[in-house]
Amino acid sequence: MDIDRRGFAVATGALLAMPFLTRLGSSPAAAQAAAPAPAGTAPAAAPNLATAQAPGFFRFKVGSHIVTVVNDGYGVRPNPTQGFVRNAEPAAVEAALKAAFLPTDALRLPYTVTFLQAGEKLIMFDAGTGGQLGATAGRMAANMQAAGLDPAKVTEVIITHFHGDHISGLTTADDKPVFANAEIIVPKAEWDFWTDEGNASRAADAMKPAFAAVKRRFEPYKGRTREISDGEVLPGVVALSTPGHTPGHTSYLLSDGSAQALVLGDITNRPELNLAHPNWHLVFDMDADLAEKTRREVLDRVATDRIRCIGYHFPFPANGYVAKEAEGYRFFPADWTPEV
Ligand SMILES: [Zn+2]
């Protein structure tokens, strides 16, 4: 059947004008007021109009290890066509967002924290926002609870890089450690950059709070923070230096036997922008040329080797596969499965 576009618009308009749809959209209280129950009959139970989403966690296996991705809400980038991509025209960014059916006035940037259960270990990759970066973020604690993940049982928190959306959840708003029994594992290059007093003093005013935040977030974990370089960090977790987004940005390859998955971190932001256009330099990339080089190398590898990826800013559940396309790459969300 063909749907004529003009006819469809007219039909939609007609539907919206129909009074019963207006009634459905109003609150149960208003509906009851509009149509009071006849005397002597009990009012019908209010329909369940709850708008809460299902808890934001999703599990899959890497060999015998279990990965749980947990949603921490999202940040909002207003006017994403303006200044968000430094080397693309606003019209091109608008076209990319429209092509992906995304809003062009305010773009959601989701946050996704990865957990790995490997033997006795409960390992976490990045720490989320801790509910301290805006009203739409900070769902991790509730989603962890829904997933049966206890912050006190986290054995290691492994960090990809030190941007606020990845480390703020290490501590509470009053600087208490959230992960009471965890070792914190950080890339040495990242640690060296952000804890260097010279870098901090030379930083642009806009960057100074980021340096201060690093100090604040890691201070309560003094004595149980480990600096790592490329190579095996823990059994089943290998660090891969992926610099550019930040100087010491690091991705982590999870493996058990021949099964693999890659925690990308921020080598790309939303796939609709940065996979479709790997040459686009988003405002958060500190060394944009290096970030692009890294992005292409990593995406080439995961596309060729068909490695499942988890992207911190990918749409939930934020994991799937990457294929090479003529101009860039395309993201294929992993198949949802009812059993892990
Ligand atoms: Zn980020």
Q: Hey, what amino acid is at 238? A: V
Ligand 1 centroid to Cα of residue 210, in Å, is 13
Beta-carbon neighbour count of residue 182 at 10 Å?
23
- The pLDDT assigned to 173 comes to 95
Instruction: Specify the DSSP class assigned to residue 44.
Output: P
Distance CA 319, CA 24 (A): 36
Q: What are the structure tokens assigned to 60, written together?
A: 């899959």
pLDDT at 266 over 90: yes
In angstroms, what is the span from residue 96 Cα to ligand 1's centroid? 20
Q: Binning pLDDT at 50, 70 and 90, where does residue 51 land? A: confident
* pLDDT value at 65 more than 90: yes
289-322 pLDDT, tens digit per residue, is 999 999 999 999 999 999 999 999 999 999 999 9
The DSSP secondary structure of 278-331, one letter per residue, reads TT--BTT-SSHHHHHHHHHHHHHHHHHHT-EEEETTSSTT-EEEEEE-SSSEEE
DSSP three-state, residue 88: coil
Q: Does the pLDDT value for residue 197 go beyond 70?
A: yes
Domains of the chain: 5-46+55-333 (3.60.15.10)
CA of 39 from ligand 1 middle (Å) equals: 59
Q: Cα(28) to centroid of ligand 1, in Å?
A: 40
**Residue range 14-37, pLDDT digits in tens:** 434 333 333 333 444 443 444 444
Distance in angstroms (rounded) separating the CA atoms of residues 220 and 280 = 37
Find the 222 Cα to ligand 1 centroid distance in Å: 24
Which stretches of the chain are assigned E, i.e. beta strand? 57-62, 65-78, 106-118, 121-125, 156-158, 183-187, 225-228, 231-234, 237-241, 250-256, 259-265, 308-311, 319-324, 329-333
Give the model's pLDDT for residue 19: 38
Query: To the nearest whole number, what is the mean pLDDT of the chain?
Result: 89
Whether 176 has a pLDDT exceeding 90, the answer reads: yes
pLDDT band at residue 47, thresholds of 50, 70 and 90?
A: low
Give mean pLDDT, residues 125-148.
96
Say if pTM beats, i.e. exceeds, 0.75.
yes
Which of these ranges, 38-52, 69-83, 147-161, 205-219, has the smallest mean pLDDT?
A: 38-52
Instruction: Give the pLDDT confidence score for residue 326 in this predicted structure.
Output: 82
CA of 164 to the centre of ligand 1 (A): 8
Q: What is the pLDDT of residue 14?
A: 40
Q: Provide the pLDDT for residue 111.
A: 98
Q: What pLDDT does residue 48 have?
A: 64
CA 129–ligand 1 middle distance (angstroms)? 10
Distance, CA 167 to ligand 1 centroid (Å)? Answer: 10
Per-residue burial over 57-68, b = 16 or more CB atoms within 10 Å of its CB, e = otherwise = bbbbebeebbbb
How many H-runs (helices) and E-runs (strands) does the chain carry?
Answer: 11, 14
| 290-318 CB burial, b ≥16 within 10 A, e <16 | bbbebbeebbeebbeeebbbbbbbbbbbb
| Distance of CA 107 from the midpoint of ligand 1 (Å) | 14
Span from the CA of 113 to the centroid of ligand 1 (angstroms): 11
Are 141 and 124 a contacting pair, CB within 8 Å?
Answer: no
CB 277 within 8 A of CB 299: no
Confidence grade of residue 183 (pLDDT, cut at 50, 70, 90): very high
Q: How far is the CA of 159 from the centre of ligand 1 (A)?
A: 11
Residue with tokens 């642009």: 204
CB 294 within 8 Å of CB 243:
yes
